């Protein structure tokens, strides 16, 4: 069987880490694309030389030409610029929207059958715009945020309870970061819901509330420490788990920014919800009953996404 092809658009911190993980896991051959000349080529060469040491078979190449992503099975998009001092949110939105236009058209023209995972921020708006510009089916374009947010939540819960991260399942809905909606009732240690663990005296409501808060500002905490960039190891690992579920038809249930068509009372927006990812991309959106607090939290997320889309449509009239 021919090897799969993984195209990574953006060869920055996350792009390079994605390339390393994809090669180590032998998901397929890897093409790193970036507009910066030399960066994708240099990283590809460096990563190729890990092969003999780590014992993986994967061709890793770097390019500045979209033609080289032709026929890719999976595309993971991290292209964009971070917000710099003095730049407004709308300035950033305008710049990254232009990037999504170029990337979307590059995917449309070269690998329209790919499964596309967007990571570029502001995530919920960029994944929507990328889908619009690429014209791919909605089930084949998805945003990565929930896997990362729930990984952060699970990490802190495992530390709190002093248990293996493997025994923790956590559940988040909604947007990335501030508007994330953690569902504590569905977060468990080996199936025991966190509220039950509080009743058992294993933690307190105050401590869990603090963990929820720390999770929601988890990205900012890392930016504050790194000072020159944002998190990249866990974001890359999260996107790779989504790619693996697609390539292996694993049908994993993962929280992703997915296109909704009436689920959770939302139509035509990308919102963070649990979905099943298999060989057809997003095969199902899992709708769960929410209590009033979670519903209100999700509504805040939805309103924030709507506001961003209005701004996008104001910047690029082809999106209106």
- 36 contacts ligand A3D (rule: CB under 6 A): yes
Biggest CA-to-CA distance, the chain: 59
Helix (H), strand (E), coil (C) string for the chain: CCCCEEEEECCCHHHHHHHHHHHHCCCCEEEEECCCCCHHHHHHHHHHCCHHHHCCCCCEEEECCHHHHCCCCEEEECCCCCCCCCCCHHHHHHHHHHHHHHHHHHHHHHCCCCEEEECCCCHHHHHHHHHHHHCCCHHHEEECCHHHHHHHHHHHHHHHHCCCHHHEECCEEECCHHHEEECHHHCEECCEEHHHHHHCCCCCHHHHHHHHHHHHCHHHHHHHHHCCCCCCHHHHHHHHHHHHHHHCCCCEEEEEEEEEECHHHCEEEEEEEEEEEECCEEEEECCCCCCHHHHHHHHHHHHHHHHHHHHHHHHCHHHC
For the question of residue 259 being annotated catalytic, the response is: no
Smallest distance, ligand A3D to C-beta of residue 297, A: 18
- 102 contacts ligand A3D (rule: CB under 6 A): yes
Subset of 57-96 contacting ligand A3D (CB under 6 A):
78-82
Q: Is residue 119 annotated as involved in ligand binding?
A: yes
Q: Is residue 152 annotated as involved in ligand binding?
A: yes
- 179 contacts ligand A3D (rule: CB under 6 A): no
Q: Is residue 34 annotated as involved in ligand binding?
A: yes
**Per-residue contact string for residues 116-135; x = within reach of ligand A3D by CB under 6 A:** ---xxx-x------------
Smallest distance, ligand A3D to C-beta of residue 280, A: 23
Smallest distance, ligand A3D to C-beta of residue 145, A: 4
Q: Is residue 121 annotated as involved in ligand binding?
A: yes
Please identify which residue in 15, 28, 182, 297 interacts with ligand A3D, judged by CB under 6 A. 15
Subset of 231-250 contacting ligand A3D (CB under 6 A):
231-232, 235
Smallest distance, ligand A3D to C-beta of residue 227, A: 13
Instruction: Name the residue with the smallest CB distance to ligand A3D.
Output: 12
Q: Give catalytic residue positions.
A: 176
- What is the contact surface with ligand A3D in residues (CB under 6 A)? 9-15, 34-36, 39, 78-82, 99, 102, 119-121, 123, 144-145, 148, 176, 219, 229-232, 235
Known binding-site residue numbers:
10-15, 34, 83, 89, 96, 119-121, 152
**Which residues carry a binding-site annotation for NAD(+)?**
10-15, 34, 96, 119-121
């Amino acid at each position: 069987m021919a090897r799969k092809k993984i195209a990574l658009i953006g060869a920055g911190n996350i792009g390079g880490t994605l390339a390393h993980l994809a090669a180590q896991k032998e998901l397929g051959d890897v093409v790193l694309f970036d507009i910066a000349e030399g960066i994708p080529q240099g990283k590809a060469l460096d990563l190729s030389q890990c092969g003999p040491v780590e014992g993986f078979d994967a061709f890793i190449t770097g390019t500045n030409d979209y033609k080289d992503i032709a026929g890719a099975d999976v595309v993971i998009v991290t292209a964009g610029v971070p917000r710099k001092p003095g730049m407004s949110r709308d300035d950033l939105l305008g710049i990254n929207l232009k990037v999504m236009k170029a990337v979307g058209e590059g995917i449309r023209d070269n690998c329209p059958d790919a499964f596309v995972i967007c990571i570029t921020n502001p995530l919920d708006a960029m994944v929507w715009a990328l889908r619009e510009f690429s014209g791919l089916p909605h089930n084949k374009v998805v945003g990565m945020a929930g896997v990362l947010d729930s990984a952060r939540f699970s990490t802190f819960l495992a530390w709190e309870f002093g248990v293996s991260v493997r025994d923790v399942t956590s559940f988040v809905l909604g947007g990335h970061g501030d508007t994330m909606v953690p569902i504590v009732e569905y977060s468990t240690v080996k199936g025991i819901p966190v509220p039950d663990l509080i009743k058992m005296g294993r933690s307190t409501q105050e401590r869990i509330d603090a963990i929820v808060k720390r999770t929601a500002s988890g990205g900012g905490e890392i930016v504050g420490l790194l000072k020159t960039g944002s998190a990249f190891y866990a974001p890359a690992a999260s996107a790779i788990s989504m790619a693996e579920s697609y390539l292996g038809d694993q049908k994993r249930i993962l929280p992703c920014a997915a296109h909704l068509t009436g689920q959770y009372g939302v139509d035509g927006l990308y919102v963070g919800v649990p979905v099943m990812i298999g060989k057809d991309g997003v095969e199902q959106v899992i709708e769960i009953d929410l209590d009033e607090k979670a519903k209100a939290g999700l509504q805040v997320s939805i309103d924030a996404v709507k506001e961003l889309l209005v701004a996008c449509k104001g910047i690029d009239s082809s999106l209106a």
